[in-house]
């Protein structure tokens, strides 16, 4: 019977991989910076498994992501900064502090016999506590910005949404979605103007403003822009593969087709997705 390994076993494995004499050469040369790309990739693979409903492989993907945390902790332990146990302690303390409606006494194991708050009350309390934590982190409070702890390494759409949400907490926001729609149209007009002037730098700048406004619209409509764009990309890929297969079935290279023919196949892919009969 195969053994069931524990977290302690994983930490021991990590230590062995980094052993300067007997470990793995690839693992020994890794640094915080070199691991970042792998960490992002593993996080996206977790998201991908969930979005595809591939829960059979979710356990493995979560293991890959956990290993990244173990890896950073090992590097820090070697430098005498902190250990994995400190990571666990830190997040546990933070979550107890940020959930006073669940742990009012700060006791992790206190009986659950307290009044429940509404979801809105919980969100408000959460933001108040995070704001207090940001203020405590700042050594010069008058220079503190609400945007200080929005990570620059976030995917661009996610970071835009987070910046907008943070600014909205102090009233710097549109009251509803309709003015944002007008803003999107305004930004699109500015893209067209930059195009007419044949100014590549201005086009790039205006495209950025347009994307930022679209993210704002998604946020007001309670749509996660990152998830929405991944969904659109998946849909595009599915329909494009349909076109490729249809052309393979008729032994036609895509390069020999007109744009009108390809668009007709695209329409057929959309109809099949909606289970609608083909018009021809």
Provide the whole-model pTM.
Answer: 0.66
SS3 119: helix
Mean pLDDT is highest, among 68-77, 131-140, 151-160, for: 68-77
- Residues 156-223, CATH architecture: Orthogonal Bundle (1.10)
Portion of the chain with pLDDT greater than 70, in percent: 95
Asked if residues 225 and 216 have their Cβ atoms less than 8 Å apart, the reply is no
In whole angstroms, what is the distance from residue 47 CA to residue 190 CA? 35
Q: Which of 97, 91, 90, 163 is nearest to 125 (CA)?
A: 97
pLDDT range class, residue 279, cuts 50, 70, 90:
very low
Looking at residue 101, the DSSP 8-state letter turns out to be T
Asked if residues 167 and 146 have their Cβ atoms less than 8 Å apart, the reply is yes
- Residues 7-98, CATH architecture: Orthogonal Bundle (1.10)
Asked if residues 207 and 191 have their Cβ atoms less than 8 Å apart, the reply is yes
pLDDT range class, residue 258, cuts 50, 70, 90:
very high
> Exposed/middle/buried for 225, CB within 10 Å: 0-12, 13-18, 19+?
buried
Q: Which two tokens stand for residue 253?
A: 């290279």
The domains spanning 7-98 and 156-223 adopt the same CATH topology: yes
Q: Estimate the share of the chain in helix, then strand, then coil, as percent rounded to the nearest 5.
A: 70, 0, 30
Angle, nearest 10°, between helix axes 200-220 and 177-196?
A: 170
What ranges do the domains of the chain cover?
A: 7-98, 156-223, 227-273
Q: What is the pLDDT of residues 79-135, one digit of tens each?
A: 999 999 999 999 999 999 888 888 888 899 988 777 777 778 777 887 788 777 777
Residues 6+ apart with CB under 8 A from 172: none
């Amino acid at each position: 019977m195969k053994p069931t390994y524990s977290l302690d076993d994983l930490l021991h494995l990590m230590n062995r991989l980094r052993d300067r004499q007997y470990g793995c050469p690839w693992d020994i040369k890794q640094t915080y910076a070199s691991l970042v790309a792998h960490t992002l990739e593993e996080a996206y693979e977790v998201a991908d498994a969930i979005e595809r409903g591939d829960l059979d492989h979710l356990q493995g993907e979560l293991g890959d992501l956990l290993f990244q945390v173990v890896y950073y902790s090992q590097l820090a332990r070697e430098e005498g900064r902190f250990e994995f146990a400190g990571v666990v302690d830190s997040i546990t303390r933070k979550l107890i502090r940020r959930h006073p409606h669940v742990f009012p006494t700060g006791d992790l194991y206190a009986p659950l016999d307290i009044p429940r708050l509404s979801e809105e009350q919980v969100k408000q309390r959460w933001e108040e506590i995070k704001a207090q934590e940001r203020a405590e982190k700042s050594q010069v409070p008058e220079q503190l910005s609400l945007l200080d702890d929005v990570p620059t390494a976030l995917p661009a759409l996610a970071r835009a949404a987070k910046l907008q949400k943070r600014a909205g907490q102090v009233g710097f926001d549109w009251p509803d979605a309709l003015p944002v729609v007008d803003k999107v149209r305004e930004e699109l007009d500015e893209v067209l103007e930059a195009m007419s002037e044949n100014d590549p730098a201005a086009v790039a700048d205006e495209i950025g403003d347009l994307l930022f406004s679209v993210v704002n619209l998604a946020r007001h409509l309670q749509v996660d822009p990152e998830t929405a764009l991944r969904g659109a990309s998946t849909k595009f890929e599915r329909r494009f593969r349909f076109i490729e297969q249809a052309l393979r079935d008729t032994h036609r290279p895509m390069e020999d087709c007109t744009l009108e023919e390809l668009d007709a196949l695209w329409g057929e892919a959309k109809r099949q997705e909606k289970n609608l009969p083909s018009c021809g």
